[in-house]
Every structure is written in structure tokens, then in C-alpha cells.
Amino acid sequence: MSLISNLFTDNTTIVIPYALLLFIAIFSVLWYLLKRSPQPPLPPGPRGLPIVGNLPFLDPDLHTYFTKLAQNHGPIFKLNLGSKLTVVVNSPSLAREIFKDQDINFSNHDVPLTARAVTYGGLDLVWLPYGAEWRMLRKVCVLKLLSRRTLDSFYELRRKEIRERTRYLYQQGQESPVNVGDQVFLTMINLTMNMLWGGSVKAEEMESVGTEFKGVISEITRLLGEPNVSDFFPWLARFDLQGLVKKMHMYARELDAILDRAIEQMHRLRSRDGDDGECKDFLQHLMKLKDQEADSELPITVNHVKAVLVDMVVGGTDTTTNTIEFAMAELIRNPELMKRAQQELDEVIPDGHVLDLEEKFGIVLKLKTPLVALPIPRLSNSNLYL
């Protein structure tokens, strides 16, 4: 027994150095091959700290911060945001190449954990990877939900809601300060709810559903705007250090329950009143398409329907509210600009006349290009030269 033991010990002692040398040789060869493989050179960028990279140096006003960096490092530069390499472009020609010339190569997005939680795993138009499924949903939205005919059918609803809110703001403004942002948000959420399921939910239940819906959407929008450390360090995702994903899952369940009730009521109303084939809101459009595409290679599921509705709600309330609130703040900060705007309105709009967008304002609005300080970050599908 001792002879066998000694033999095993001697062999082990001899093998270990050779195994170590073999491992070092293989590692060296692989490292050499990787270093030799042609890699596109990375753009310049500011120095960062170990592990956290450039995160501690980010300015809250990112667009102005990036402009300053572009003055030092050129129109394209890199940042290490935690464990993620980020490339920033700050010139019209490079932006055109990314968003137009190589749009397919930059068509995907890095889905934030909170967004994934509220969009059923990223099944919506914003976060779904580019492919047949995304093209199908986009076609549905462009041809059915956002077509001119569908939007025109809600014209009177939009007109009525905006007039009532404008009248309320005028009356309240005579007596006390008014939170314009809150009022614009209420206007947009009311319009959005009516467009989403105004024909599917009973009128007497719209108010109670609306109250619950407004609270949930407010919290979801707030959480989507919160920076999450786990997005910059994916290996921390399991710990959810800030508790943002847990909170988002809670509100996502509440939103899911609201959408389920709306779908259930739609089915009950149609079974009671009969299906005349006419779609009265976005929900009915989507559910009809879901039934029509049930046997196709890429069927629309209930989760697809819900995810698209979430897109409509968040996109139709938050961005509009922020844009109008920002415009009003700029007018208040510049009294001369406010006076000029009022004079121009008095010249264009006769006394007692309400001007619709189809009239002269339509020409003015078409000439204005909407400004977005920072678009949603995109992912490149492969190594590319710009």
C-alpha cells in the first residue's frame, strides 16, 4: 500500500510542473493571437478611475458636459461608465452615419433593468431587438394605431380635453399659482386613456380606473428616469442595491392588473353588444390584430399588446409634459419673448376665433424641428469603423 502511495506521490510531483508549463504556453499563444487580430482603434476620451471609470465625473446636464468633452477630444470620444464602454458622437455627419447610413448596425438598445421589468421582458417597440418581430409590431403601430385615419377619429376628444384644461388654467391662474406640469400631465393621461380603451371600459368606471392608472404611471415614469447602478455593473443586478427593480415589479403588477381588467371588460362589452367589426380604441385594434395573427409564424401575444400600450402611455405623457413645461419655463424666464409670442398670436388669431392646427399654425409647426438633447443609447451589432 505504501509502495503504491509513494508511486502516486512521485508521479504527481513530476506532472505538476509540466502541466503548469503547458497551461502557460497555451495562455501565451491565445493572448498573442488575440492581440494580433485586427481590432478597430477606440476613439480618445478622458481618463477615468479604476472600476467606476468616468461615472464620478458625469455632469447632470449631460448634453453640455458632452459638448465640453468634444471640444477637448473631438467629435467622437469614449467613456467608461462602470464596466460598460460608451462611445459618444457629437457631430451631424457622424450622427447621420449612425442613425441613417448604418441604422441597421446600430438598431438595438441596452435595455435598463427597470424598463425590462415593466415591458414584459422588453417586448415593446422601444427595447425589442431589431428583427421580424420588431418589424411586425412597428407595422401594426404605423398602419393601424398611428395612422391619420385613427388619429383623426380622436380629434374631437383632443379638442374638448384641451379646451377644458385651458379654461381651467385661465380661471385658476387669476386666483393662485398653477403647477403647469401637473395639469399638462393630467390632460395627456386623460387623452391617452380615452384613446387606449375609451371604447372598451364603461364610462362610469373610467374615473376610478383613471385615478389608479395616473398614480401607477407617475411612479413608473419616475423609476424609468432613476439611474440604476446595476445597469453600469451588470454583475450587481442580482442584488438590486437601490431596490429600483423591486419597486418597478410592484408597479408593473398593478399596471398589468389594470390592463387585464380593461381587456376583460372589452370582451364582456363585445359579447353583450355584439362585434360589429369597428374598433373604437387602440386596445380593440391591438386585440383584433392579435386574433388575426394567431396562426402566423410570429403571432402577437397578449404581452405584446400590453407592452405596446405601455409605450403609448409613457411616450404620450412624459415627453409631452416635459416639453410643454420646459417651453413655459423659458417664456417665463424671458418676458420679452413672452410679449412677442402674445403679439404674434394676437396678429394671427382674430378676437373670439379658435385656431386649429389644420389652419395657419400647421405651417409654422411643420417648419420646426423637435430637439432631443440625448436620444436613447444604441448598441452596435459588431466592431465598426466610423
260: which residues sit within 8 A by CB, 6+ positions away?
none
Of 89, 106, 123, which closes a domain?
106
User: What number of CA atoms fall less than 13 Å from residue 90's CA on the CB side?
Assistant: 22
Of 90, 106, 122, which closes a domain?
106
CATH code, domain carrying 346: 1.10.630.10
Contact assessment for residue 348 and residue 360, using Cβ atoms and an 8 Å cutoff: yes
pLDDT at 134: 92
Closest to 218 (Cα-Cα) out of 244, 164, 191, 255? 255
Closest to 222 (Cα-Cα) out of 339, 114, 144, 329? 114
Do 266 and 217 fall into the same domain?
yes
Task: Assess if residue 17 is contained within a domain.
Answer: no
Task: Assess if residue 122 is contained within a domain.
Answer: no
Q: What is the pTM of this model?
A: 0.78
Give how many domains the chain has, as a whole number.
Answer: 2
Do 266 and 349 fall into the same domain?
yes
Do 156 and 264 fall into the same domain?
yes
The grid cell for 146 is 398611428
pLDDT at 3: 47
pLDDT at 15: 57
Do 233 and 136 fall into the same domain?
yes
Radius of gyration over every alpha carbon of the chain, rounded to an integer in angstroms: 28
State the Cα–Cα distance between residues 131 and 107, nearest whole angstrom.
10
SS (H, E, C) 134-174: HHHHHHHHHHHHCCHHHHHCCHHHHHHHHHHHHHHHHHHHC
Do 141 and 176 fall into the same domain?
yes
Task: Assess if residue 338 is contained within a domain.
Answer: yes
Do 101 and 202 fall into the same domain?
no
| 168-177 pLDDT per residue, tens | 888 888 888 8
pLDDT at 68: 94
Task: Assess if residue 273 is contained within a domain.
Answer: yes
Task: Assess if residue 119 is contained within a domain.
Answer: no
pLDDT at 369: 46
Do 150 and 297 fall into the same domain?
yes
pLDDT at 271: 77
Do 354 and 258 fall into the same domain?
yes
Do 101 and 221 fall into the same domain?
no
Range of the domain at 78: 55-106
**pLDDT in single tens digits along all 386 residues of the chain:** 454 455 445 555 565 666 666 667 776 666 656 655 566 788 999 999 999 999 999 998 888 899 999 999 999 999 999 999 999 999 999 999 999 999 999 999 999 999 999 999 999 999 999 998 999 889 888 887 888 888 888 888 888 888 888 888 888 888 888 888 888 888 888 888 888 887 666 666 666 677 788 889 889 989 998 999 999 999 999 999 999 999 999 999 999 999 998 888 888 877 776 666 677 788 888 888 888 887 888 888 999 999 999 998 888 887 788 888 888 888 889 999 899 888 887 877 766 666 665 554 544 444 444 445 678 899 988 888 87
Task: Assess if residue 111 is contained within a domain.
Answer: no
State the Cα–Cα distance between residues 148 and 154, nearest whole angstrom.
10
| Residues in the chain, overall count | 386
- β partners of residue 80: 85
Contact assessment for residue 141 and residue 125, using Cβ atoms and an 8 Å cutoff: yes
Do 179 and 282 fall into the same domain?
yes
Task: Assess if residue 196 is contained within a domain.
Answer: yes
Do 90 and 136 fall into the same domain?
no
pLDDT at 363: 44
> Cα dist. 47→42, 77, 338 in Å?
13, 11, 44
Task: Assess if residue 28 is contained within a domain.
Answer: no
Of 72, 106, 140, which closes a domain?
106
Do 88 and 150 fall into the same domain?
no
Phi first, then psi: give them for residue 297, nearest 5 degrees.
Answer: -65, -30
State the Cα–Cα distance between residues 49 and 51, nearest whole angstrom.
6
| 331-347 pLDDT per residue, tens | 889 999 899 888 887 87
The grid cell for 80 is 467608461
